[in-house]
Amino acid sequence: MTGLSEVNHQFVTHLYAPGSGPDAGPAYRALRDIWSGCRQVFQMVDPVPGLRLRHLLPDSYDDLPPVTWSGPEAALAVQEQTGARCQAVLRRHHNILNLSVALAPTPLMPSPDGPRSWWRELDRQWTRLTATQAPHLLGEARLYLADLAAPPPDHTMTGRELGPLVPGDQAENWWRRGVTHEERTTIWETSPSDDGQWLRRFLVAFATADAKAASAWTWSHGSPTIPPLARYLLHAAVMRFHLRVWQRDDRTAESRDAIDALLADLRRRRATARGGGRPLDLSRLGLYDASLICADLRELRESVTISVHNMSRVVGTPQLLAAGPFADDRAMARSFIARLDDQIAYLEIAAHRTDRLEALSRASELAARPFPEPEATMDASPDVTRRVFVVHGRDEEARTAMFDFLRSLDLEPLEWEPLVSLTGSTLPYLGDVVSQAVSRAQATVVLMTPDDVVSLHPSLHGTHEDSKEIGPSMQARPNVLLELGMALAIYRDRTIIVTAGDHRPITDLGGMNYIRLTDSAQCHNKIATRLQIAGCQIKNNGHDWLRPRFQALASYRREPPVT
């Protein structure tokens, strides 16, 4: 290279966060904290001249301009450091919030170890600023821009010589996988290949003569609208977020194993002429998984397909086919969709097998004398199929809304005190009350609201402790967690978990399929469908059950107090 000292270092990062749904509030608060940090760390305290945009963010997400006023794609706020060396802009892109930040070395910054370290120094400061907010975001893409006074003709050589300056872990031989945009700007992804990774790092190199075009592609062409590369990376981040959620919540294997085990048990009984023994414990678990998971996967596949389509509209076919980050995203998307298709096909078969399994089981039980049950089970009267045991905490607003919703489906949510009286004790054990509930109700709805502020004691922090453990976070009341465990132990297939607001993750529930409470018709329908699958006799032939009940609950916005 003509000389690394002739490299002008710039740092651009694009962060993406949910702009709708129950996660929008916590995500906006994370972006707002980062925005405030930019003011303190990088002195971005000034509005941008000529733009009629605020430079201070409101405290609440609800105070942002509504979509009906700003439009689905709009810049919401912008701030800069005096001299415009550092800038930040917050945008809305349909249901996604995008915070873009550009940093460059300034006289106000203490000089690191020579000019070669500017990227690393800026990255270090940025990581320190954003580390605790990252769990609330969909993803981040960091761009290390190299403005070269005299770039060599071979971009592979450019990447290899600039590689030691780029922060973070690096993939093997990444400099060989660069792709050129409009024959002016070359981009490499330097971070290790991981389809579900949250943070991606890119090196972008261009000649000084092409700096304006490179800026228009990566940062701005003179207006606060989202640049093409940031638009592409937004859709890629959404796709990778879907992949992470799928990997975390996938229960297809569990459904397959449950159905296969039941089929094997049934075949064994029939082969030994014991088909009429103790009834096969179907519990409708296979049908529950096959029907609901298949619907969720179809919805997920559609979202991924939309993201891929949007990505292809930004990046041309030659770049998608060439070796490099865009081709890697395309290959990942095709693999993801193929895996979803495989699972959907399997679950359709599983639903059919479960129907057949139930029919065979009933026929087998009629073929011989059944074993007597050790004790009477719950009454199967119509009243029981209308009853629902609701586990809840101190959030009376959320409890009232849930009870009202269940009653709109012609169901009877069980109150706590009548259950206590059924135990015949003035000081009943919690387990006795729960036992009364599950024997007199068709299903249990566990409403988890963020009621308690909890944190791990500092003396127990690990070396790489999760930010949720270090600082205070929200969690459901202990009685809710205890009763949830009891309900899952007694009749897991008829237990429905509904979460409202932002919660500290509970490791043992990481694989559970739960419903995030919103006021959308989709959420109403999910709860009603799962109640129906649990055997509840619901009445949803009108429209009252779809009436807004869960709108603007305080639990959506509840967070630990600022100390």
Domain end among 226, 243, 260: 243
Q: Which two tokens stand for residue 521?
A: 């018709």
* Average pLDDT taken over every residue of the chain: 82
Q: What is the pLDDT of residue 251?
A: 63
Residue 185: which of 127, 235, 123, 227 has the closest Cα? 227
**Statement to judge: residues 323 and 429 lie in one domain:** no
**Statement to judge: residues 221 and 260 lie in one domain:** no
**Average of per-residue pLDDT across 356-382:** 46
**Statement to judge: residues 113 and 207 lie in one domain:** yes
pLDDT beyond 70 at 102: yes
Cα–Cα distance measured from residue 127 to residue 497, given in angstroms and rounded to the nearest whole number: 35
**How many structural domains are present in the chain?**
3
**Statement to judge: residues 171 and 262 lie in one domain:** no
Cα–Cα distance measured from residue 552 to residue 60, given in angstroms and rounded to the nearest whole number: 12
Cα–Cα distance measured from residue 122 to residue 126, given in angstroms and rounded to the nearest whole number: 6
**Statement to judge: residues 305 and 442 lie in one domain:** no
How would you classify residue 424: left for phi > 0, otherwise alpha for psi between -120 and 50, otherwise beta? left
**Burial class of residue 318, CB neighbours in 10 A (0-12, 13-18, 19+):** exposed
**Statement to judge: residues 350 and 393 lie in one domain:** no
Give CA separation, 390 vs 85, 377, 499, in Å.
Answer: 56, 20, 13
Domain end among 243, 266, 286: 243
The bridge status of strand 443-448 relative to strand 495-499 is parallel
Domain end among 312, 336, 366: 366
Query: Is 374 inside any structural domain?
Result: no
Q: What is the pLDDT of residue 218?
A: 96
**Statement to judge: residues 429 and 355 lie in one domain:** no
Q: What is the pLDDT of residue 287?
A: 44
Q: Which helix (H) or strand (E) segment is 532 a member of?
A: helix 521-533
Q: What is the pLDDT of residue 381?
A: 54
pLDDT, tens digit, 9 for 90 and up, residues 305-336: 999 899 988 887 666 666 789 999 999 999 99
Which of 43-57, 80-94, 481-495 comes out lowest in average pLDDT? 481-495
As a whole number of Å, the CA-based R_g of the chain is 28
Give CA separation, 81 vs 101, 104, 105, 214, in Å.
Answer: 11, 11, 12, 21
**Statement to judge: residues 57 and 34 lie in one domain:** yes
What residues pair up with 388 in beta bridges, in sequence order? 413, 443
Query: Is 445 inside any structural domain?
Result: yes
CATH number where 421 lies: 3.40.50.10140
pLDDT beyond 60 at 358: no
pLDDT beyond 90 at 419: no
**Average of per-residue pLDDT across 535-541:** 89
pLDDT beyond 70 at 263: no
Query: Is 509 inside any structural domain?
Result: yes
Which of 37-51, 351-365, 520-534 comes out lowest in average pLDDT? 351-365
Q: What is the pTM for the complete model shown?
A: 0.63
**Statement to judge: residues 217 and 310 lie in one domain:** no
pLDDT, tens digit, 9 for 90 and up, residues 154-211: 888 899 999 999 999 999 999 999 998 888 899 999 999 876 788 999 999 999 999 9
**Statement to judge: residues 361 and 434 lie in one domain:** no
Query: Is 528 inside any structural domain?
Result: yes
Q: What is the largest CA-CA distance in the chain?
A: 90
Query: Is 348 inside any structural domain?
Result: yes
Binned at pLDDT 50, 70 and 90, residue 434 comes out as confident
pLDDT beyond 50 at 372: no
**Average of per-residue pLDDT across 210-238:** 94
Query: Is 13 inside any structural domain?
Result: yes
**Statement to judge: residues 124 and 69 lie in one domain:** yes
Q: What is the pLDDT of residue 1?
A: 40
pLDDT beyond 50 at 127: yes
Query: Is 418 inside any structural domain?
Result: yes
Binned at pLDDT 50, 70 and 90, residue 87 comes out as very high
Binned at pLDDT 50, 70 and 90, residue 115 comes out as very low
**Statement to judge: residues 354 and 434 lie in one domain:** no
Tokens 């912008």 belong to which residue? Answer: 78
Percent of the chain with pLDDT over 70: 79
Q: What is the pLDDT of residue 284?
A: 44
Query: Is 194 inside any structural domain?
Result: yes
Domain that holds residue 254: 250-366
